[in-house]
Structure 1
């Protein structure tokens, strides 16, 4: 096991040049590679005016080098969760520039070939050098500034708690480094401990099995969203021996997912409770029935205020602590989470608990997951985004969407006044998730955009997907196209291919060109379409084909790219 290095002196003290820092596509990347890449980024940032820079990179090794390069150039780094147009537009008013894998329209900064040797000094631990964002699960993301000392102290706490169990094991991850949990667990802690990490992210359960089988003893950094989708059909017996430790954060792991972890992965995860505002707060490992309570991390003090948890932690801004929106039962041995305190809305002057409605929907047996959201408008109404169970899909197939809506409204009827029942329903194959595995309220509300078609995923792999799409006659895309004989515009078909392509695959930011696009047959209102998607990562090309009972309607390829 390597000596734990202070991250403020990571580059000034360093490790031997050949020390493995990461691996990419089977190739090891050394500390000399890391130091050289960080120098290239440091000189690029140093040559660029302005203090505040938004940084987004898919590759974790390149991201780590860019992050330390920016810090050593005296820059403050903003970490966006994605580079969607709305995110980039919001950031444009907050930062002086963009760096990394962003659309070329933002003229993102790229590393320079170092023109001189870099003399590294220690970083200023008091510098407010990082801005992270809340997940936006209950509203717009909020910027949270962090001092370097807060981050580095938290890494030392994590190492004190668990480094002895890891014994130098390398790190695999399903979560993104663009969030505080991924940043700490898959990058900063391994860098300090001298444990190498995978430069890529494991997007599918098949990737987890293959990586654990190939890598040997390894640490897996995951989220509940990934751990609750472990197919039993995969050869987990080949993966179990390769799992040294398992971490999960982003929300409590369900009992069903916990059972799958124990059976398929061979162990219960270390669940970490925290937030962007507070950093890590508490942990638990439910390897026995008595281990259900959350226990505070070292140096974290907890209290209860009007039923909600207040956190006093050196990893936050100080003051009177941070009052969370989590209701708890606090005891001498830890605390129990009782749900959110801020998910109460008023509908027709009636107080409605969104969490209670979600529990009733799950109890119906017709859905596997459900989120209730308050939809903006002249009159506040509730909407439900749900993933039907097998029984739910049978009801949908036999009685249509209206039939399933009715069954679920009946399940809620005894708990809420009729005027406050949800009025709008959306069904899909999964709740929308960001790269951290969290569901944001803004993404849920976007499911009610009339421009988004109703779609059902029939099959999916790393390289292909098959969807059924209901082309509703009420789609706004038929307006004016054409009044006498409405047909679906070709540009809309391209938009839908990209929309679902981005939800199912990790597509680069920039659209480059169309290839071999053909529109063979018009699509009238009410058509039930099949959309076949194929993703060739090596060529950054998304192929698409729309067909129905009437035959093939359109096909072609969409080529994407990113910064050179």
Structure 2
């Protein structure tokens, strides 16, 4: 069992550059623990807070107890209303327009007589589960229950892969552009530095201009970002003057285009560490793309992959079943590394003809006018195309003319009946806070 006070660095965090000590943090965890201890074993508690220090203190206080901690992706009224089916207990921020009926456990009277021997959570300490939610890219979000043992296994793998493998491992500094409410941000921004005594910045910097300002001190940072955020840097990379302060850049939550990865590597003098995995599977592999040559993914320690009719099949200590068939097509190389060859679950029928939307999107992105795109099947059965244009496309006079060009471009590979019927043009695709497109929500653009 790891005592929490022995894990944390003395100067463990900052908030917008203002130092926050381990003594302050432990006092905060203790204060919440004394309030939460009266909760009945087996209860579930919803946890949301925009500040990472406040969030982490509540998280570790709840994890001292046999409780399930439910992590909503956001605090929107409808999200919270849906989650009331799971629990009415709530810890953290609750907006004024939130649905009624929640009991705020932060307001419970503290038990001042309670001894506080705070430990790092795990099954041996009687901790409950963490409950995450998938992005719902192909339907409603679903709850994913993760044990602290699985979380700890993944944290150990991250430390061993990226830190202990270095000649002189040392304490690191983490700063994020993604939310800690999702598993990627939670692991990389908070739990990894907390578990291994590293330093983290509590504030999140969604805009690279704000991040660049924060990078202006003596530290060398591990930057945790999404593919969508990194792709937007390519044309005007405000981080270039700060590249000496960037030790490593992580990207996860979706694919980062090889062309963007190569450009970023040239601009920042280092490759982006892409991490492949999901909420359900945990981390699977990683790579850095430095050239146009196909770059395989390296599986994390303990991970192995095979193929089943072209789809990747996963064996991992982070999943419950012996083997899981993934929704990605791939090729496993003789040395165990693997290539990703697109999604296997986005084939639809249009006018009785099968269409691979991944392949059609790839073809559309090859057009010189297209910066990014997303295709979906509308309720009519026909396809809709949501397109972000590059600078060349934005200078074109008519979207009608552009549509004609793009239809003709797709028509070189796909039958006319399969080409998207409706086209919408946006400045940028509507990614969520995880850097993912929620395809089930894109139909609003075609109403």
- TM-score greater than 0.5 by the shorter chain: yes
CA contact (8 A) 1:232 1:264 kept: no
Name which of 262, 265, 269 aligns with 1:262: 265
Change in Cα spacing, 1:32 to 1:231, as seen in structure 2 (3 Å) is: same
Matched with 1:251 is 254
Matched with 1:420 is 418
Matched with 1:146 is 146
Q: Is the aligned partner of 1:209 residue 2:204?
A: no
Matched with 2:387 is 386
Change in Cα spacing, 1:214 to 1:231, as seen in structure 2 (3 Å) is: farther
**1:128 & 1:322 partners in 2: Cα distance?**
24
Matched with 2:32 is 41
Matched with 2:445 is 447
**2:316 & 2:230 partners in 1: Cα distance?**
28
Matched with 2:2 is 9
CA contact (8 A) 2:33 2:62 kept: yes
Change in Cα spacing, 1:289 to 1:424, as seen in structure 2 (3 Å) is: closer
CA contact (8 A) 1:51 1:96 kept: no
Q: Structure 2 length normalisation: TM-score? A: 0.90
Name which of 111, 114, 135 aligns with 2:106: 111
**2:3 & 2:352 partners in 1: Cα distance?**
57
Matched with 1:328 is 330
Change in Cα spacing, 1:15 to 1:412, as seen in structure 2 (3 Å) is: closer
CA contact (8 A) 2:32 2:57 kept: yes
Matched with 2:428 is 430
Deviation track 1:403-447 (CA, whole Å, cap 9, x = no partner) reads: 333222222223333333222222211111111211111332233
C-alpha displacement of 1:308: 0.7
**1:406 & 1:67 partners in 2: Cα distance?**
53
Write the mapping of 1:525-536 to structure 2, written as runs, cut at 5 A: none
CA contact (8 A) 2:410 2:419 kept: yes
* Bigger RCO of structures 1 and 2 (CA < 8 A, at least 6 apart): 2
Matched with 2:66 is 74
Write the mapping of 1:514-525 to structure 2, written as runs, cut at 5 A: none
Write the mapping of 1:119-138 to structure 2, written as runs, cut at 5 A: 119-120=116-117, 122=119, 123-125=121-123, 127-138=127-138
**1:269 & 1:363 partners in 2: Cα distance?**
23
CA contact (8 A) 2:262 2:291 kept: no
Matched with 1:83 is 75
SS of residue matched to 2:283 = strand
CA contact (8 A) 2:357 2:375 kept: yes
SS of residue matched to 2:180 = coil
Change in Cα spacing, 1:443 to 1:45, as seen in structure 2 (3 Å) is: farther
**1:289 & 1:386 partners in 2: Cα distance?**
25
Change in Cα spacing, 1:99 to 1:261, as seen in structure 2 (3 Å) is: same
Matched with 1:56 is 48
**1:26 & 1:434 partners in 2: Cα distance?**
27
**1:167 & 1:254 partners in 2: Cα distance?**
31
Deviation track 1:151-202 (CA, whole Å, cap 9, x = no partner) reads: 0111011111112346212101111111111111111110111111111111
Structure 1 regions of 5+ residues with no counterpart? 1-7, 451-564
Matched with 2:185 is 182
Write the mapping of 1:304-319 to structure 2, written as runs, cut at 5 A: 304-317=307-320, 319=321
Change in Cα spacing, 1:174 to 1:251, as seen in structure 2 (3 Å) is: same
Structure 2 regions of 5+ residues with no counterpart? none
Deviation track 1:328-362 (CA, whole Å, cap 9, x = no partner) reads: 01112311110001110011211011112212221
CA contact (8 A) 2:372 2:387 kept: yes
Greater CA drift, 229-238 or 255-264 = 229-238
**1:414 & 1:61 partners in 2: Cα distance?**
54
**2:219 & 2:437 partners in 1: Cα distance?**
32
Change in Cα spacing, 1:235 to 1:354, as seen in structure 2 (3 Å) is: closer
C-alpha displacement of 1:71: 1.2
Change in Cα spacing, 1:419 to 1:180, as seen in structure 2 (3 Å) is: same
CA contact (8 A) 1:361 1:411 kept: yes
Q: Is the aligned partner of 1:411 residue 2:409?
A: yes
CA contact (8 A) 2:5 2:26 kept: no
Write the mapping of 1:529-548 to structure 2, written as runs, cut at 5 A: none
CA contact (8 A) 1:216 1:241 kept: no
CA contact (8 A) 2:261 2:290 kept: no
Matched with 1:98 is 90
Matched with 1:303 is 306
SS of residue matched to 1:323 = strand
SS of residue matched to 1:214 = coil
SS of residue matched to 2:2 = helix
